[in-house]
Structure 1
Amino acid sequence: MITALLADDEEHALSLLELLLHQTGEVKVIGRCGNGIDALEQVGLLKPDVAFLDIEMPGMNGLEVAERLGSSVSATQIVFVTAYDRYAVSAFENDALDYLLKPLEVDRLNRTVGRVKRAVAHRRTEDREAAVVRTAAASETSAEPQVQLLGEVQVSVEGRGRLKWRTSKEKELFAYLAVHYGSRIHRDVLLDELWPDEHYQKAKVYLHTCVSYLRRDLRHLGLEDAVVYEDEKYSLSAPLERSDYREFVEAAAGLLPPGSVNAERLERTVNLYSGRLFRSEDYQWADDEIRHTETAIEAQLLRLAQLYEGEGDFGRMIAAGRRLLQHSPYNEEAYRILMKGYAGSGKHDEVYRVYGEMGRRLDELQIQASDMTLSLYEGLKVRKKS
């Protein structure tokens, strides 16, 4: 039997819904209330399987109640009830939410009850599986989550597997919170960044759904209270704010000023960089972060190549120059590094080849090599002849 809480500011609407639910033989109503504030409190006390929430209620409407519930560890499923189609009810058509239009239709209500039954059964199965994970985790050495943002977006815990994203927006929400580590992001900022073209109320439902998914999926990895919500702001718990992106950014920042840098420290930093931030994703809001990390890795590789040149280690100088060229294929400085590295190694044919490769690249941009590069090339040719 499914347990239900009903919230509607119209008494007759509550009585009709309770009667129709009773007639299904599948639902037991354990609470009724006439406003959103009481609904939020009653869900916390009664912990019903499902809450039927009228959207238009005084004080706190049904959408706001759903948002608060989605930001907690509540297992309660949500069904919206509305007399108005203006809320674009298609927004509620997903695995976590459903909707009913007034006046209520028995057939539609029966379909909703069936849907809720499946969702509740699925949730109970997930809870049992998560409990097994938590029990196993309690008997093991504490394992920290591994968060990868450079390259592919991934979250894993050793011995417990890797998170499987239910939707692309769940992944994007996690990526946004993770890359803004140390910050608490206001709900409205998330709505503007992740759903810029959606109606405000519909976007709030989408956010509520993504937060619910994310909390649930991270619990399967033994990570409790993973998404923090306070004062309408979201953030990740401290263990999830540690990522390869954060490690690289902070390591790169720690290499300032340049005089305190040695090759070993630079090598450790550039080896943290495993690929472009969010490589397979097209997150418009991430443009600044992507440029920052690309600029940082190029600067570190350039400094590393210069240190190798000073040490006369031309093999590693060439390797650093090649890696720099992978990030910035039109970077003249990378070609100059390679030419000097090959010349220092006595591989003058490679100097000519690199110069020709650079010329073809710059032709694509319809520009010519700088005087600095031409002067270097001529000087290297003279050294070979002598």
Structure 2
Amino acid sequence: MDVILIDDEHLPLRQLKKMLESEFEGINVLKTYLNVHQALEEVSTLNPDSVFLDIHMPEINGLELAAHIQEVHPAVEIVFVTGYDRYAIEAFELFAFDYLLKPLRLPRLKKTIQRLRQKIETSPEQQKEGVMLRCFGPLTVQAPGQERKQMKWRTAKAQELFAFLLHHHGKYVERGTLLDLLWPDFDVDRALQQLYTTVYHIRQALQQAGLTEITIRSGRELGGSYRLELGGSIQLDYLEWEEQLKRIKEPAPHTIRDYEKLLFAYEEDYLGVYDYMWAEAKREKLRRLWRQNYEKMIRYYEEKGDYEAAIPLAERMQELFPLEEDSYFELMRCYDAVGSETDVEEQYQLLLSRFKRELELQPSEVVLVWYKQWKQIRQSNTR
């Protein structure tokens, strides 16, 4: 269970941290805070299961802070820790999970931790946690709390057939479509034998990997077909990624860290390490979605004048799309805004060399004019 602790006094903060870490197994104190504003800013990024929070603090009332925390991280459980019991009724009206009085007593704290564990283990968020099939980059499997793993496929055809059925999961795919895709040069009888054997190998691979909730069903629809079905605990990373972006909607002070986390989670294109032409439409859709949200965040940072925060995002854009000039131009403007002339020059020269080498093109007129004017201003300032 992941927790954060907030108190304006160092001693009780240290004592609570020591009690939680020494007396309870599986309690991970992510961070302790004396600064309430920093805690509020980072809570959605840290994504704790619970927040232990003092009520009586000079900068902001703990009840108000709890309400703000629940706005940015609705699933979190709030446990108030204070010496002022007159706040108890108001605290529970804010849906606080529990209320502990200082000085803390271990038996009472044990009851709170026990109830927290029961609540978290039965929460919808925990119930839905299961195996994640990761399709950004190579196709891998990730169990909760474990590293990504490659599945062991008997042949490259088995991997592609699984990926294709996963791409169309929940829908029947005509047998003839699969034959044309994977064995276009085989006669029908030989191609069918390859298909049956490959489906058998996929089922074996799923069994060996313990993915018993993933099944391949054959049907008579469309003159013979196959459908891949995912059990309730199986998740797909790209679908989860899209859903989270939809929930956030727009960059705002309380969502910007979640926005950053999602955009940096896009490490590679959908099945991007494979030469699967049938996946290109989905790749392009997800690329566009990333670009659209990248533009929202860049505009947000520019309006706030936070060019330092925009730089890592533009660098990520450049890594993903090295032959698009937007990121180079964005980085040139950001580096100019923070006074880094060397980096402006470096980005411009990098843009020139890549465009000439890969595309045999010059940058756009907009970039060329901007750079020329920037250069003139620099030279005039040095005279």
Normalised by the length of structure 1, the TM-score is 0.55
Counterpart residue type for residue 332 of structure 1: E
Give the whole-Å Cα distance in 2 for the aligned partners of 1:341 and 1:327: 19
The residue number in structure 1 matching 2:218 is 229
Given that 1:178 and 1:240 are in contact with CA atoms closer than 8 Å, whether structure 2 keeps it comes out as no
Query: Which one of the candidate residues 344, 348, 361 is aligned to 1:355?
Result: 348
The residue number in structure 1 matching 2:189 is 201
The residue number in structure 2 matching 1:367 is 361
Matched, 1:285 2:291: no
Counterpart residue type for residue 288 of structure 1: A
The residue number in structure 1 matching 2:3 is none
How far 1:180 moved relative to its partner?
2.4
Gaps of at least 5 residues in structure 2 are 1-126
The residue number in structure 1 matching 2:302 is 309
Give the whole-Å Cα distance in 1 for the aligned partners of 2:203 and 2:273: 23
Which digits, 9 at most, give the CA deviation of each residue in 1:250-273, with x for residues without a partner? Answer: 4456677899x9634532431331
The correspondence of residues 69-108 of structure 1 with structure 2, limited to 5 A, is: none
Which digits, 9 at most, give the CA deviation of each residue in 1:292-339, with x for residues without a partner? Answer: 333333343333223222222212211111111112222121111001
Counterpart residue type for residue 349 of structure 1: T
Give the whole-Å Cα distance in 2 for the aligned partners of 1:338 and 1:234: 46
How far 1:340 moved relative to its partner?
0.9
Matched, 1:327 2:327: no
**SS of equivalent residue, structure 2 residue 301:** helix
Give the whole-Å Cα distance in 2 for the aligned partners of 1:143 and 1:215: 23
How far 1:342 moved relative to its partner?
0.2
Which digits, 9 at most, give the CA deviation of each residue in 1:164-203, with x for residues without a partner? Answer: 2222122111111222234332222222222222222222
Given that 1:335 and 1:355 are in contact with CA atoms closer than 8 Å, whether structure 2 keeps it comes out as yes
**SS of equivalent residue, structure 1 residue 226:** strand
Aligned residues: CA RMSD:
3.3
Change (3 A) 1:186 1:258: farther
**SS of equivalent residue, structure 1 residue 235:** strand
**SS of equivalent residue, structure 1 residue 203:** helix
Change (3 A) 1:179 1:268: farther
Give the whole-Å Cα distance in 2 for the aligned partners of 1:316 and 1:168: 42
Give the whole-Å Cα distance in 1 for the aligned partners of 2:297 and 2:166: 29
Given that 1:325 and 1:331 are in contact with CA atoms closer than 8 Å, whether structure 2 keeps it comes out as yes
The correspondence of residues 9-48 of structure 1 with structure 2, limited to 5 A, is: none
Which digits, 9 at most, give the CA deviation of each residue in 1:129-183, with x for residues without a partner? Answer: xxxxxxxxxxxx9972221111111234459976322221221111112222343
Change (3 A) 1:279 1:369: closer
Given that 2:133 and 2:141 are in contact with CA atoms closer than 8 Å, whether structure 1 keeps it comes out as yes
Given that 1:262 and 1:307 are in contact with CA atoms closer than 8 Å, whether structure 2 keeps it comes out as no
Give the whole-Å Cα distance in 2 for the aligned partners of 1:240 and 1:271: 25
Percent identical pairs in the alignment equals 26
Matched, 1:189 2:182: no
The structure number with the bigger radius of gyration is: 1
The correspondence of residues 164-179 of structure 1 with structure 2, limited to 5 A, is: 164-179=152-167
- Number of residue pairs matched? 246
Gaps of at least 5 residues in structure 1 are 1-140
